[in-house]
Each structure stands twice: as structure tokens, then as C-alpha cells.
């Protein structure tokens, strides 16, 4: 009788948790208008009538249910000032571990709604990749992708690779002749993973690399040449440390490495880095799965653009490939104060094998004073908010455990009384 009572309690708790998970994943979806595709089915955009193409990359908005007003101001004004042809959300689009997002998919959708408003108001095509924090909410990245696809002008898809959500490419064709000039790659770098170095940031897997290599061969065969490209993903490749030099801890500008590099300090190698600053140790995966080596072998990636490390903005060239940081745009997580910003990439169909890029900062667009609470001197705003949220969550969990214990004790007492009666 005692065992049956305990099993009944466990069964009720399990059913409750399963119901919560089911409801979290279940919501209606209806796709927005289909984007343009090429003859072989690839997503496709065109250089504008001036023969130019401008991309705006926005990384690490990383907010909770309601997106910070300064983040939205930055996004809105940047889009108005630049009128890009494509906007790329480069991962950590939401702060998945925000307690309100952990608890409710409705809150995740609200966060995406607010994030997307400046983009949908502009009627500009957009693409999406996911970061480590996107995968931490109650809404899976599969469901998030489905939700993004409900917005007009969405050029993001799940893709054909088995691992991850958002491994795909977009071809850029000429403004008038329709000839393919350039390609854009998008990769899902996942969340966290175990490797020989322990538990750390995830890495692009073998099947994703194979998909990229097979797709490269398909594109090259279709157009009779190696089509040059740009790549977008959230977590940088491990080779980012190839742009750095080891230095004593007290060296001006030196930062401590991260993960397997954390026992050393580093400065930028000025012979390889042409622009930008490094304000934190890069945080790539500890395990190198050969993604950058594959890029080198294919010879079709001019530059790769990463988010993840909010206060890094440097660009360096390694083995002929530019590795470019996009600093954080979101004011609800750690960042660079007035230098929260977006990265602008400009392309010319007359010279498709080259590009230019620059940063656009909050301070370039506004003269107002950012409240001290949003300037950040290395502190995570979310950590302050989360202490409150998680304190409440822990309290509720403790209360639930106490109620279960009291219920079990009541069942035990009842069983014992029944035995005494017999």
C-alpha cells in the first residue's frame, strides 16, 4: 500500500511535468510568404538596382520577455539610417535562461515579437541563426524557427543538415542579369557539449560540415566556378586564437583566455588583426572539429561573422579568411555601453570577391545619456534580475517538495492506521 501511494504521487508529478512540456511545445504556426528561390531551389536574393547589397548583422540582443528600450532604439535607428537589403540576427536572439522564458513559450514569442518589430516595420528581408542562449528556453529552436517563419520576408529555414536548426544558404544574384554573384552561409553552432576537454561550448558537427562541403560542390558545379561567400554563425571557430599572441598578465590590453586557453593571457596580433578591439577572452568551443579547415579546403569563404563575445569587435585574417566579430546590440546583458552596435557589410556586384565592413554604434546615432543601469561595467543585468526570479523559483520548488513530503507522510500514516485496524 505504501509503495502504491508513493507511486501514485510520483505518477501525478510526472504527468504534471509532461503536461507542462507538451503545452510548452504546442502552439499554432502559419508560415509567412515564401521567399524567392533559384532554379535549383536555393534561397535567393538580388543585388539592388544600384548593383549594391548591404547586410546588417545584429548579434546578442539576448533579452527576456520584454526587449530593452535602448536595444530597440538602436535597432530601429540603425535600420532607418542604413536601409540594408538583408538583416541577419546572429544568435542569442533571446535570453533563454531568463526565468520568464524558461517558464512560458508565450513569453518567448513575446520577446521575438518585440525583437522583430523594427525589422517587420522596415519590410526588409531577414535571416536568423541561433546561439547558445536561444536553446535554453522552454521553446525549442525548431519551434522558434517556425515562429520566425511566420513573419514576412523571412529567409531562414531549418536546413538539410541533421544536426541543428538553421544550416542553410542564400544565393545573391545580379541586379539585372540574374547571374549568381555570391553566396551566404548560415550555421547553427548549438549550445553546450561534452568533449575531451570537459563540458564547454558546442561545435559544428560532422554532418553539418559534410552538408556544407556537399552544397559547395553542388553550387560550384551549377555555376561553373567557385562561388565566393560570407558565413554567419554565433560561436566563433577555435582558430580565433590564431589571431592572438600570448602575453604576460600585466601587458596593456591583455585578456585572460577562456576554456582550455584560460591559463594564459593574450593580446591581439597586430600583424593579423587589421581593426577593432578585444575586451574579453574569446569563447569558442574547446574541441576543434575541423570547420575552419573545411572552409580552407573549399576555398569559398572570404569572411565569417561571429557574435557570442559581446565586447569583442576585432577583425583579423587567418589563412586567407577574415574572422570578424559582431559586438552585442542588446542592452539587457553585458556590453560596451555607448558602443553597443550593429555591423554593416557592403557588397558590390561588380566586385563580388570582396566586401567592406564597419561598425555602427549607439553613440553614432544618439546623443542622449544612457542610464547607468544600462551602461554596464562588466556586470550582467540578467544576473541581478535572475537572483530575484530564481530565488522565487527555488522558494516555489521548496514549497512543492514540502507539499509532496507532507502528502507522502499522510499516505504512510493512513497505511499504518489501516494495518493496525487489521
Among 140, 130, 311, 392, CA closest to 235: 130
Do 215 and 281 lie in a common domain? yes
**DSSP letter string, 97-162:** TSHHHHH-HHHHHHHHHHHHHHHHHHT--EEEE--TTGGGSSS-HHHHHHHHTTSTTB----BS-S
Do 161 and 241 lie in a common domain? yes
Per-residue pLDDT of the chain (422 residues; tens, 9 = 90+): 433 343 333 334 333 433 444 444 443 344 455 677 766 678 999 999 999 999 999 999 999 999 999 999 999 999 999 999 999 999 999 998 888 888 789 999 999 999 999 999 999 999 999 999 999 889 999 999 999 999 999 999 999 999 999 999 999 999 988 899 999 999 999 998 777 777 889 999 999 999 999 999 999 999 999 999 999 999 999 999 999 999 999 999 999 999 999 999 999 999 999 999 999 999 999 999 999 999 999 999 999 999 999 999 999 999 999 999 999 999 988 888 889 999 999 999 999 999 999 999 999 999 988 877 665 544 444 445 555 555 666 777 788 888 898 888 888 778 777 776 66
Domain boundaries, position 401: 1-30+381-422
What is the pTM (predicted TM-score) of this model?
A: 0.84
Give the span between the Cα atoms of 180 and 220, in whole angstroms: 11
Do 371 and 398 lie in a common domain? no
Do 399 and 365 lie in a common domain? no
Do 417 and 317 lie in a common domain? no
Do 8 and 87 lie in a common domain? no
The model's pLDDT over 265-295, given as tens digits with 9 standing for 90+, comes to 999 999 999 999 999 999 999 999 999 999 9
DSSP lists the bridge partners of residue 169 as: 185
The model's pLDDT over 197-228, given as tens digits with 9 standing for 90+, comes to 778 899 999 999 999 999 999 999 999 999 99
Amino acid at each position: 500500500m505504501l509503495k502504491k501511494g508513493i507511486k501514485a504521487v510520483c505518477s501525478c508529478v510526472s504527468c504534471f511535468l509532461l503536461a507542462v512540456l507538451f503545452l510548452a511545445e504546442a502552439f499554432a504556426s502559419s508560415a509567412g510568404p515564401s521567399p524567392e528561390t533559384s532554379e535549383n531551389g536555393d534561397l535567393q536574393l538580388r543585388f539592388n538596382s544600384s548593383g549594391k547589397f548591404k547586410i546588417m548583422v545584429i548579434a546578442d540582443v539576448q533579452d527576456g520577455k520584454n526587449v530593452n528600450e535602448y536595444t530597440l532604439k538602436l535597432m530601429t535607428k540603425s535600420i532607418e539610417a542604413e536601409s540594408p537589403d538583408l538583416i541577419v540576427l546572429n544568435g542569442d536572439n533571446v535570453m533563454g535562461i531568463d526565468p520568464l522564458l524558461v517558464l512560458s513559450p508565450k513569453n518567448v514569442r513575446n520577446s521575438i515579437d518585440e525583437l522583430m518589430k523594427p525589422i517587420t516595420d522596415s519590410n526588409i528581408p531577414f535571416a536568423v541563426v541561433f546561439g547558445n542562449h536561444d536553446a535554453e528556453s522552454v521553446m525549442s529552436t525548431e519551434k522558434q524557427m517556425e515562429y520566425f517563419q511566420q513573419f514576412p520576408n523571412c529567409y531562414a529555414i531549418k536546413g538539410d543538415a541533421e544536426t541543428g536548426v538553421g544550416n542553410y544558404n542564400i544565393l545573391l544574384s545580379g541586379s539585372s542579369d540574374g547571374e549568381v554573384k555570391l553566396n551566404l552561409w548560415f550555421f547553427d553552432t548549438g549550445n553546450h557539449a561534452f568533449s575531451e576537454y570537459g563540458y564547454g561550448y558546442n561545435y559544428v558537427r560532422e554532418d553539418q560540415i559534410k552538408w556544407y562541403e556537399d552544397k559547395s560542390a553542388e553550387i560550384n558545379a551549377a555555376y561553373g566556378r567557385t562561388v565566393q561567400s560570407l558565413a554567419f554563425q554565433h560561436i566563433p571557430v577555435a582558430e580565433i586564437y590564431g589571431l592572438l599572441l600570448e602575453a604576460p598578465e600585466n601587458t596593456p590590453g591583455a585578456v585572460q583566455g577562456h576554456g582550455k586557453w584560460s591559463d594564459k593571457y593574450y593580446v591581439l596580433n597586430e600583424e593579423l588583426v587589421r581593426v577593432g578591439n578585444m575586451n574579453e577572452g574569446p569563447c569558442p568551443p574547446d574541441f576543434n572539429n575541423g570547420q575552419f579547415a573545411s572552409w580552407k579546403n573549399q576555398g569559398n569563404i572570404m569572411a565569417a561573422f561571429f557574435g557570442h563575445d559581446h565586447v569583442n569587435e576585432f577583425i583579423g585574417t587567418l589563412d586567407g579568411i577574415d574572422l570578424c566579430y559582431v559586438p552585442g546590440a542588446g542592452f539587457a546583458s553585458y556590453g560596451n555601453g555607448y558602443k553597443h552596435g550593429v555591423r554593416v557589410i557592403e557588397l558590390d556586384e561588380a566586385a563580388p570577391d570582396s566586401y567592406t565592413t564597419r561598425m555602427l554604434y549607439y553613440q553614432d546615432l544618439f546623443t542622449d545619456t544612457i542610464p547607468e543601469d544600462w551602461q554596464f561595467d562588466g556586470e550582467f543585468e540578467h544576473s541581478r534580475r535572475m537572483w530575484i526570479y530564481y530565488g522565487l523559483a527555488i522558494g516555489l520548488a521548496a514549497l512543492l517538495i514540502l507539499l509532496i513530503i507532507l502528502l507522502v507522510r499522510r499516505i504512510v500514516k493512513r497505511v499504518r492506521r489501516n494495518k493496525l485496524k487489521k
